[in-house]
Chains A and B, each alone.
Chain A
Amino acid sequence: MIEITGLSKAFGRVQAVAGLTLSAGDGQITGLIGPNGAGKSTTFRVAFGLIRPDAGRVAVDGHDMVSDRIEAQRRIGALPDVRGLYPRLTAREHIRYFGNLHGLSGPGLETRIDRLVELLEMEGFADRRARGFSRGQELKVALGRALVHEPANLILDEPTNGLDVVSTRAVRRLLRGMRDAGHCILLSSHLMAEVGVLCDRLAVIDRGRVVASGTPGELRAWTGCDDLEEVFMEALARAGAGGKEPCR
């Protein structure tokens, strides 16, 4: 379970996140949606343990991401918005490196790597060095290294961005399977169709705070819009982010 409470973070005079509160439960896929610059990436960076918040906290299964960072990080699988790879390492070596960093080794780790290669359809390039990988291939490797330790909680920034239709469906299947197995999944996406078919709960954020949250059905009822894109726009409009004609 991931609990974000009263989170604030500023970079100089720019207030990236302002008192954001959000909870992502186990056995659920929670989607974080918002316009560019709303504070999604900063929220995720704090949730990954990369940067410290100015106020508030992120707790993963009760472990504070600042005061108990290592234990909290053991419990997350992270897919940051930057998917950088080491150009001289193969896809398989990337996943192995991250498995090692999570304390995994030996035949058990190799079996997991083989399974991820198969699940993410990486057979064609698993043993190739990463230089020259396509965006989709890079994303698959990044997903592989985020999942290698079978984390209880997943925080994924745009997990299907750059994938083709077939791979997108494979990733969605994978995430649904993990949700059904009781994992907590928090993801961001700008694809309304994706959050519509994938997410159990949604949180709309704008200017660093949550302006609406609930199940897709609850949000539809609240806004009176059927289309999720309209729901999103309406939520922003009600938060004062911009004008929009009412759906009804």
Chain B
Amino acid sequence: MTPRGALWPWWRRCGVVLGKEVKDHLRDSRSLVLALLYPLLGPLALGLLLQVAADARHVDPGAPALTVAARGLDHAPELAAFLAGHNVTLNAMGEAAAGGGGGAEAGPVTLEIPAAAAAGAPFTVRLLFDANSTTETATARRLADLITGYSRQLGQRLLTARGLDPGLIQPVTVERIHTGRRLDMALLLYSLISPLLVFMIFLGAVPLVLDSTIGERERGTLEPLLTTPIRRWEVLLGKAGAAFLFTLVTVLLNLSAFRLVLSLLAAGAPGGQPPPDSAVFGLILVMALPVMALAVTLQLAIAALARTLKEAQIYLGLLPLVPALPGIASAMTPLVPQLWTSGVPVFGQMLVFNRLIAGAPVEPAQALLSAVTTLLTAVLIFWWATRLYEQDRTVVAGG
């Protein structure tokens, strides 16, 4: 008796598996949440960090009045007048009042002027603030800058009164010129985009891979599936294709969110250096394709090795940290892509991503080599995974 239906070509059989997995997991809320929501978390966190960093560094002379608690104002009325003239409201505190932080009415920062100030001799004022608070730190810095300015002005006046060159008060001056394209902190945070992206690449399709591999075995659907006329590698390729699509969506969302958040931050702070543009993110997306392939094949192989779903969940949950941690380290240390780094799968590409994000030139040969290395590794791991799926223990639970 002749079998019904002609044997379809391999790519069509793979397509059947891929289509089923996509349909199945579009109905799975876990897969959707991870694919659609998680990619937004990294960009939001980075945006928040950038905003906090900017707020902490920002000292605006025209900012609204500072409110500062002050003790010993009577000892230096001229300083008090100077500060009042520079938008600082000083709330006098009694000598017995507690210092450090001040109350809500008095303001968060406390200025203490010693009695020595009244004697006309050099004196030291104290600023009491909580260094853990970015607001108090910024207030204290602004107040310190004002008092330093007052001190310099007073010194120059005294020198002039004695017939001396007022410039003597500061024989050597330093002019600081920032030559970087952006604030260092922003640049550092931008370089976290790469490890965060790789983290997402290795996380995006985890529910799908778990469910379609070891989940399929535990559920008892793998055996019926493998009784059909389809080769093991075709089944795996179909599942890998579906996982790749979910990862791709995750990465697209992730990069789009990074672009959007950084653009919004840049728009809110005109005059600063612009963040990486869309072309850079587009290039990173293309260059991330081999990393996605590697992530998916590695997930499939690990899931095949695991004995239970719980075991696979642990392994695949930890997997994203493996490539992301060296990426974070490379963000902290200036490592330039070299020939040997191009030979390290994923890591070589992360360095290229970092260069692209920093607006630094990238050697095309090194970028290509790192992409080819990652892709070849993905092919090797896929071959290994297909070998695992030929084994009894992978197909039959407890076999």
Q: Please give the residue numbers on chain A whose beta carbons come within 8 Å of chain B beta carbons, in ascending order.
A: 11, 26, 45, 48-52, 61, 69-71, 73-76, 78, 80, 82-89, 93, 97-104, 129, 142, 145-146, 149-152, 182-183
Are B223 and A82 touching (Cβ within 8 A)?
Answer: yes
- A62-B225 Cα distance, complex, nearest whole Å: 23
Are A149 and B4 touching (Cβ within 8 A)?
Answer: yes
Query: Known: A52-B392, A152-B3. Is A145-B231 also a contact (CB below 8 A)?
Result: no
Are A101 and B4 touching (Cβ within 8 A)?
Answer: no
- A102-B8 Cα distance, complex, nearest whole Å: 8
Are B223 and A48 touching (Cβ within 8 A)?
Answer: yes
Are A70 and B27 touching (Cβ within 8 A)?
Answer: no
Contacts of A84 in B (CB 8 A): 216, 219-224
Q: Which of A49, A51, A89 has the most chain B CB atoms closer than 10 A to its own CB?
A: A51
Question: Which of B3, B5, B222, B392 makes the CB contact (< 8 A) with A51?
Answer: B392
**Interchain nearest-CB distance for A185 vs B (Å):** 13
Are A75 and B3 touching (Cβ within 8 A)?
Answer: yes
- A51-B1 Cα distance, complex, nearest whole Å: 25
Query: Known: A88-B24, A103-B6. Is A142-B224 also a contact (CB below 8 A)?
Result: yes
Query: Known: A70-B229, A76-B227, A86-B221. Is A104-B5 also a contact (CB below 8 A)?
Result: yes
Question: Which of B2, B227, B230 makes the CB contact (< 8 A) with A80?
Answer: B227
Contacts of B223 in A (CB 8 A): 45, 48, 50, 80, 82, 84
A-B contact pairs, 10 of them (CB 8 A): A61-B1, A70-B7, A74-B7, A74-B229, A75-B1, A84-B222, A97-B16, A97-B20, A102-B5, A103-B6
- A98-B399 Cα distance, complex, nearest whole Å: 24
**Interchain nearest-CB distance for A9 vs B (Å):** 9
The prevalent SS among residues of B at the interface is loop
Contacts of A101 in B (CB 8 A): 13, 16-17, 225, 228-230
- A203-B157 Cα distance, complex, nearest whole Å: 116
- A82-B224 Cα distance, complex, nearest whole Å: 8
Residues facing A in B1-31 (CB within 8 A) are 1-8, 13, 16-17, 20, 23-24, 27-28
- A245-B23 Cα distance, complex, nearest whole Å: 59
Tell whether B226 is near chain A: CB-to-CB under 8 Å.
Answer: yes
**Interchain nearest-CB distance for B241 vs A (Å):** 15
Contacts of B13 in A (CB 8 A): 101
Question: Which of B3, B23, B230, B395 makes the CB contact (< 8 A) with A50?
Answer: B395
Are A104 and B4 touching (Cβ within 8 A)?
Answer: yes
Q: Please give the residue numbers on chain B whose beta carbons come within 8 Å of chain A beta carbons, in ascending order.
A: 1-8, 13, 16-17, 20, 23-24, 27-28, 216, 219-231, 392, 395-396, 399
Which residue in chain A gives the minimum CB-CB distance to B7?
Answer: A103
- A104-B7 Cα distance, complex, nearest whole Å: 9
**Interchain nearest-CB distance for A29 vs B (Å):** 16
Known A-B contacts: A70-B7, A71-B229, A86-B219. Give 14 more (CB < 8 A): A49-B227, A50-B395, A69-B229, A73-B227, A75-B1, A84-B219, A85-B219, A89-B20, A102-B4, A102-B229, A103-B5, A103-B7, A104-B4, A142-B224
Q: Which of A86, A89, A104 has the most chain B CB atoms closer than 10 A to its own CB?
A: A86
Contacts of B8 in A (CB 8 A): 103
Are B227 and A48 touching (Cβ within 8 A)?
Answer: yes
Are B224 and A145 touching (Cβ within 8 A)?
Answer: yes
Contacts of A145 in B (CB 8 A): 224
Contacts of B227 in A (CB 8 A): 48-50, 73, 76, 78, 80
- A241-B281 Cα distance, complex, nearest whole Å: 71
- A61-B223 Cα distance, complex, nearest whole Å: 22
Contacts of A129 in B (CB 8 A): 27
- A49-B396 Cα distance, complex, nearest whole Å: 12
- A182-B1 Cα distance, complex, nearest whole Å: 9
Question: Which of A51, A98, A99, A102 makes the CB contact (< 8 A) with B395?
Answer: A51
Which residue in chain A gives the minimum CB-CB distance to B231?
Answer: A70
Are B228 and A45 touching (Cβ within 8 A)?
Answer: no
- A74-B223 Cα distance, complex, nearest whole Å: 15
Contacts of A102 in B (CB 8 A): 3-5, 228-229
- A151-B229 Cα distance, complex, nearest whole Å: 12
Contacts of A146 in B (CB 8 A): 224
**Interchain nearest-CB distance for A183 vs B (Å):** 7
- A195-B222 Cα distance, complex, nearest whole Å: 28
**Interchain nearest-CB distance for A137 vs B (Å):** 15
Which residue in chain B gives the minimum CB-CB distance to A83?
Answer: B220
Which residue in chain A gives the minimum CB-CB distance to B21?
Answer: A86
Query: Known: A50-B396, A80-B227, A100-B16. Is A85-B5 also a contact (CB below 8 A)?
Result: no
- A69-B232 Cα distance, complex, nearest whole Å: 11
Are A78 and B224 touching (Cβ within 8 A)?
Answer: yes
Which residue in chain B gives the minimum CB-CB distance to A11?
Answer: B399
- A93-B397 Cα distance, complex, nearest whole Å: 25
- A70-B3 Cα distance, complex, nearest whole Å: 11
- A222-B320 Cα distance, complex, nearest whole Å: 65
- A169-B236 Cα distance, complex, nearest whole Å: 39
**Interchain nearest-CB distance for A109 vs B (Å):** 8
Query: Known: A11-B399, A73-B229, A89-B24. Is A149-B221 also a contact (CB below 8 A)?
Result: no
- A45-B226 Cα distance, complex, nearest whole Å: 10
